Amino acid sequence: MESERYRRGWEKLKEVDGHAGEKVIESLKDIAPDLGRYTIEFPFGDIYSRPGLDLRSREIAVVAALTALGNAAPQLRVHIHGALNVGVTREEVVEIITMMAVYAGFPAALNGIAAAKEVFSERDRDGKS
Amino acid sequence: MESERYRRGWEKLKEVDGHAGEKVIESLKDIAPDLGRYTIEFPFGDIYSRPGLDLRSREIAVVAALTALGNAAPQLRVHIHGALNVGVTREEVVEIITMMAVYAGFPAALNGIAAAKEVFSERDRDGKS
Amino acid sequence: MESERYRRGWEKLKEVDGHAGEKVIESLKDIAPDLGRYTIEFPFGDIYSRPGLDLRSREIAVVAALTALGNAAPQLRVHIHGALNVGVTREEVVEIITMMAVYAGFPAALNGIAAAKEVFSERDRDGKS
Amino acid sequence: MESERYRRGWEKLKEVDGHAGEKVIESLKDIAPDLGRYTIEFPFGDIYSRPGLDLRSREIAVVAALTALGNAAPQLRVHIHGALNVGVTREEVVEIITMMAVYAGFPAALNGIAAAKEVFSERDRDGKS
Amino acid sequence: MESERYRRGWEKLKEVDGHAGEKVIESLKDIAPDLGRYTIEFPFGDIYSRPGLDLRSREIAVVAALTALGNAAPQLRVHIHGALNVGVTREEVVEIITMMAVYAGFPAALNGIAAAKEVFSERDRDGKS
Amino acid sequence: MESERYRRGWEKLKEVDGHAGEKVIESLKDIAPDLGRYTIEFPFGDIYSRPGLDLRSREIAVVAALTALGNAAPQLRVHIHGALNVGVTREEVVEIITMMAVYAGFPAALNGIAAAKEVFSERDRDGKS
């Protein structure tokens, strides 16, 4: 069962966050491998695998939340990738982040756009939408 | 033009937040009427009226962000109403808030659920979905 | 296995948070039972059950973090109970919270002390240390 | 010297926060008297007593910061009193809080105005400006 | 009218934030031009142009708030420039940031001073006060 | 007395934070020397010197709080050094930070681990535990 959560989480992580997600887990291997395992099991094996909300809506929620919190730039970039990977368009990503000016202030929105700019450039280089 | 933003914002505010939104503006009348006017003009007249993202996705983003921030309970309740008003289901609201356990911690998610519980009870009393 | 995590988590939850923890899970039953299950499985079944750090140190960490965040009063109260349940003294709880004046500001520390005051009164009524 | 900081801080606390400040210190007496002493010595004995910035500017800074943080309502109310006590007008208080809609989002500003409303009502009852 | 807000905002942006503000707007042109427009219209065209509070007090409020929030370093630097541009002295900037040790903790104040150090160096190079 | 707090604080700062702490104070000398002095006097001369909680528990509290806040990376690194200097093991540091995934979200924990990784590497180079 435990291993079923891990296997399911790993599949979901690859589906949503692709290479960026795998690199996060990789970077934890030598220092906090159990945090790596939990990151696969709980967020992806448990939460993302739930049927009650489509992946597109999940990524909209996460991009909004991380933009609003404003203290998790690496994870925001991973989830902007994630949003684009599951069908949110670049225009919609910009729209979600812009909207956070209302709820978390203009600095949060401006820093969110800076993160989006980096992700879009990286994807341009890789020929991704 | 200015008044066009206000008129458009007021329509949008009523569409999304219904009575709860109007009460917020009403409560500002005697102390900060201009903040009330800005709340109509910028968030609703400018942002919510933009074509690039559907209302359902906007409310998903706002419920997620306010749950994650964890310091805006009255506004979270208004936007849980808003989400339900524009077609997000109660199950999806619970799903979005539950998901914030991953991104902002279990306390944020638990307090978000407490807000949802209050809103759902109020809507039960009013015979709303 | 899944049920083993739940069983182990439930034992740990009772050991640390006692009645206060059970009430949190109870309150989730009708609205977000899965969040209740996750709260038992991940924080308590996975994290609190790890051997690498004693319970006393864990509760010191949590009381400090929730005082510093300043937006999770109900959870702070639960974990002040938890700290006292696993052997942290009232004087040490006050010391940890006071210390947060340095790292998160005096308002965070003052509001943390207000939470401690409520918990100590409740425990006085119940004849607990 | 130590006692000089305390004496100077106590005078400054009374000048800025009046009765509201004294009540905060009073409430700490039985649970965390040293935090009460530090609150007098460091913020008021050291910081507020510095010559480099006038009291009016100091209170503008604090009202802005506590509105933006959004998790310290009791302290925000004390410092709205403080601002009014040292010559900031009610209109200016509303202006500072409104401005935080830009930097910390509309929820922060709306909750700040709610705090101001309570303070203004209390001062109306007490016949204060 | 819309264009009047923009024109007025642009003038105010240049008055307060000078070149640093213009660069922010410039950087948004290709990715989120509407967020750039809103940044001119709402914060500067609406808020900063209000008569109820002098520019000096406004910048004191913003430097305090962004130091306290601690997650908006680029915007804090822009507004330290802004404060100096409208007549706040370097000593007063240091005083405001130092004061945030009390309200948001020493880390927030220390990181705010690091931002001020960068801005002061840049202005030294440019021969600005 | 004043100088006694300073002397006591300086000794404690060296005991806990070693060279990293001294560098922080040094960097404040030319821009905000009084903030440097307060950093020695209040956190170290007053708080860390109190008898009610051992240094190990204090550093556990601070590492937890700064990981949870997520906006004070330089100070988190200083206090990971501090924790290791006063006898917390690397495994325990990883355990405390991992635990913050529950209370402040996975991004906070992941960024905390990244800080720990830098500190551990630096100490490896210096032959420290």
Q: Cβ contact (<8 Å) for D103 and A107?
A: yes
Question: Cβ of A31: how many Cβ atoms within 10 Å?
Answer: 18
d(CA B119, CA E82): 43
Spatial neighbors of E117 by CB under 8 A, at least 6 apart, are F27, F31
Q: Tell me, what's the pLDDT at A118?
A: 98
Task: Report pLDDT digits (tens) over A60-74.
Answer: 999 999 999 999 999
Computed from CA positions of residues B70, B72, B75, B77, in that sequence, does the dihedral angle turn out positive or negative? positive
* Closest CA of chain F from D34, distance in Å: 10
- Closest chain F residue by Cα to residue C45: F102
- Show the tokens assigned to D89: 């007008």
d(CA E37, CA D2): 54
Task: Report pLDDT digits (tens) over A4-45.
Answer: 999 999 999 999 988 888 999 999 999 999 999 999 999 999
Q: Tell me, what's the pLDDT at D3?
A: 84
Are E97 and F8 a contacting pair, CB within 8 Å?
A: no
Evaluate if residue C18 carries a pLDDT over 90: no
ipTM of the modeled complex: 0.96
Evaluate if residue C2 carries a pLDDT over 60: no
- Closest chain D residue by Cα to residue E60: D61
CA nearest neighbour of B60 among B40, B45, B79, B74? B79
Question: What is the average per-residue pLDDT within D13-33?
Answer: 93
Q: Cβ contact (<8 Å) for D61 and E63?
A: yes
Residues of F near A (Cβ–Cβ under 8 Å) read 69-71, 94, 97-98, 101, 105-111, 113-114, 116-117, 120
* Mean of the per-residue pLDDT values of chain D: 96
Chain B residue numbers touching D109 (CB-CB < 8 A): 35
Chain D residue numbers touching E92 (CB-CB < 8 A): 52-53, 57
d(CA A128, CA B5): 37
Question: What is the average per-residue pLDDT within B72-97?
Answer: 98
DSSP chain F: -HHHHHHHHHHHHHHHHHHHHHHHHHHHTTT-HHHHHHHIIIIIIIIIT-TTS-HHHHHHHHHHHHHHH-S-HHHHHHHHHHHHHTT--HHHHHHHHHHHHHHH-HHHHHHHHHHHHHHHHHHHHTT--
Q: Cβ contact (<8 Å) for B35 and D113?
A: yes
CA nearest neighbour of F108 among F62, F70, F71? F70
Are C101 and C68 a contacting pair, CB within 8 Å?
A: no
Evaluate if residue B2 carries a pLDDT over 60: no
Chain D residue numbers touching A98 (CB-CB < 8 A): none
Evaluate if residue B32 carries a pLDDT over 60: yes
Which chains pack against E, by 3+ Cβ pairs within 8 A? A, B, C, D, F
Spatial neighbors of B63 by CB under 8 A, at least 6 apart, are A61, B76, B79, B80, B83, B88, B93, B96, B97, B112
d(CA D19, CA D78): 9
b/e for C16-36, b at 16 or more Cβ within 10 A? bbbebbeebbeebeebbebbb
Beta strands in B1-129 (DSSP E): none
* Closest CA of chain B from D77, distance in Å: 15
Task: Report pLDDT digits (tens) over B39-74.
Answer: 999 999 999 999 999 999 999 999 999 999 999 999
At B4, give phi and psi (nearest 5°): -65, -45
Are F41 and F33 a contacting pair, CB within 8 Å?
A: no
Residues of D near F (Cβ–Cβ under 8 Å) read 1-3, 5, 34, 38, 42, 46-47, 50
Of B97, B107, B117, the CB nearest to C72: B107
pLDDT band at F20 (very low <50, low <70, confident <90, very high): confident
Are C56 and C87 a contacting pair, CB within 8 Å?
A: yes
d(CA D61, CA D76): 11
How crowded is the C-beta side of B118, counted as CA atoms within 13 Å? 13
End-to-end CA distance of chain A: give it in Å, rounded: 36
Spatial neighbors of A121 by CB under 8 A, at least 6 apart, are none
Of D1, D34, D42, the CB nearest to F42: D42
Spatial neighbors of C7 by CB under 8 A, at least 6 apart, are C45
From residue A19, give the alpha-carbon distance in Å to each of A10, A14, A117: 12, 7, 18
Q: Cβ contact (<8 Å) for D72 and C120?
A: no
Torsion over CA of A27, A31, A32 and A36, rounded to 10 degrees? 20
* Closest CA of chain A from D87, distance in Å: 28
Question: What is the average per-residue pLDDT within F68-72?
Answer: 98
Task: Report pLDDT digits (tens) over C52-67.
Answer: 999 999 999 999 999 9
Q: Cβ contact (<8 Å) for F113 and A28?
A: yes
Computed from CA positions of residues A94, A98, A104, A108, in that sequence, does the dihedral angle turn out positive or negative? positive
Are B20 and A79 a contacting pair, CB within 8 Å?
A: no
Q: Cβ contact (<8 Å) for F96 and C47?
A: no
Evaluate if residue F49 carries a pLDDT over 80: yes
- Please report the number of interchain residue pairs, chain A to chain F, with beta-carbon separation below 8 angstroms: 52
Residue type present at position D91:
E
Question: What is the average per-residue pLDDT within F15-22?
Answer: 89
Q: Tell me, what's the pLDDT at F2?
A: 56
d(CA A81, CA A128): 10
Task: Report pLDDT digits (tens) over C58-106.
Answer: 999 999 999 999 999 999 999 999 999 999 999 999 999 999 999 999 9
Residue F53 region by backbone torsions, left for phi larger than 0, else alpha for psi between -120 and 50, else beta: beta
- Show the tokens assigned to C55: 């319970």
* Closest CA of chain F from B69, distance in Å: 11
Residue type present at position D24:
V
d(CA B77, CA B62): 11
Residues in chain E: 129
Q: At what angle do helices E90-104 and C106-125 cross, to 10 degrees?
A: 10
Chain C residue numbers touching F95 (CB-CB < 8 A): 50, 52-53
pLDDT band at D2 (very low <50, low <70, confident <90, very high): low
User: What angle (nearest 5°) sits at the alpha carbon of residue B100, between those of residues B107 and A72?
Assistant: 100
Q: Cβ contact (<8 Å) for C69 and F67?
A: no
Chain E residue numbers touching A107 (CB-CB < 8 A): 66, 69, 71-72, 74-75
Of D1, D42, D50, the CB nearest to F2: D1
Chain centroid to CA F48:
11
- Show the tokens assigned to E76: 């804090």
pLDDT band at C31 (very low <50, low <70, confident <90, very high): very high
Q: Cβ contact (<8 Å) for C113 and D75?
A: no
Chain F residue numbers touching D42 (CB-CB < 8 A): 38, 42, 46
Query: Which residue, chain included where needed, has tokens 């991104």?
Result: B103
Residue type present at position A76:
L
pLDDT band at B19 (very low <50, low <70, confident <90, very high): confident
CA nearest neighbour of C67 among C44, C21, C99, C89? C99
Are E95 and D50 a contacting pair, CB within 8 Å?
A: yes
* Closest CA of chain F from D2, distance in Å: 6
How crowded is the C-beta side of A112, counted as CA atoms within 13 Å? 30
Question: What is the average per-residue pLDDT within F99-107?
Answer: 98
d(CA B88, CA B64): 13
CA nearest neighbour of F69 among B61, D22, C103, A85? C103
Q: Cβ contact (<8 Å) for C72 and B113?
A: no
Q: Cβ contact (<8 Å) for C38 and A42?
A: yes
Q: Cβ contact (<8 Å) for E98 and F71?
A: no
Task: Report pLDDT digits (tens) over A76-89.
Answer: 999 999 999 999 99
d(CA F39, CA F57): 20
d(CA B116, CA B77): 7
Which stretches of E40-89 are DSSP H helices?
55-69, 73-85
Secondary structure tally for chain D: helices H, strands E: 6, 0
CA nearest neighbour of B64 among B36, B34, B39, B96? B96
Query: Which residue, chain included where needed, has tokens 């990151």?
Result: A39
d(CA F85, CA F119): 12
Residues of chain E with pLDDT below 70 are: 1-2
Question: Cβ of C106: how many Cβ atoms within 10 Å?
Answer: 24
Chain C residue numbers touching D61 (CB-CB < 8 A): none
Residue type present at position A49:
S
Query: Which residue, chain included where needed, has tokens 């458009």?
Result: B8
Residues of E near A (Cβ–Cβ under 8 Å) read 24, 27-28, 31-32, 34-35, 38-39, 43, 66, 69-72, 74-75
Q: Cβ contact (<8 Å) for E70 and F69?
A: yes
Evaluate if residue B18 carries a pLDDT over 70: yes
Chain E residue numbers touching D104 (CB-CB < 8 A): 65, 69
